[in-house]
Amino acid sequence: MGEINSESLEVSYQHLADSKAILALFLALLPAEILKIFDIVAMEATEMPYPNYLQIHPEIHVRILNFPNLLSLRELRERNLNQLVKVSGVVTRRTGVFPAAQIRQV
């Protein structure tokens, strides 16, 4: 990754689950927090052999591959917010997100 100046590190969820099951479990339960930690650790690990890497890219992002929770775009619901999901489908059109509650001026 450091040799090609990449900004992403791809990690297979299945490989993570096989080697460090507790990390895979925490990733599924608290994805935002765990991905932040993964990003920090990936940057620290990259800076060991490449001390000037921070000058090339200020951040490294860990990307999770092969996550088992597959949904179609039509199946996404509010309950999926803040969860790690894998989606399949094609976006043909998009609209803004509208809040469920309207704020009224008095």
Tens digits of per-residue pLDDT, 30-88? 999 999 999 999 999 988 888 888 888 888 999 999 998 888 888 888 888 888 888 88
- Contacts of 26-29 with CB under 8 Å at 24 or more apart are 27/64, 27/84, 28/69, 28/84
Residue-level pLDDT at 58 = 86
- Tell me, yes or no, whether 39 lies in a domain: yes
In a domain, 104, yes or no: no
CATH code for position 33? 3.30.1640.10
* pTM of the predicted model as reported, rounded to 2 decimal places: 0.71
More confident: 16 or 102: 16
pLDDT of residue 39: 96
pLDDT-derived band at 102, boundaries 50, 70, 90: low
The answer to whether position 87 is within a domain reads no
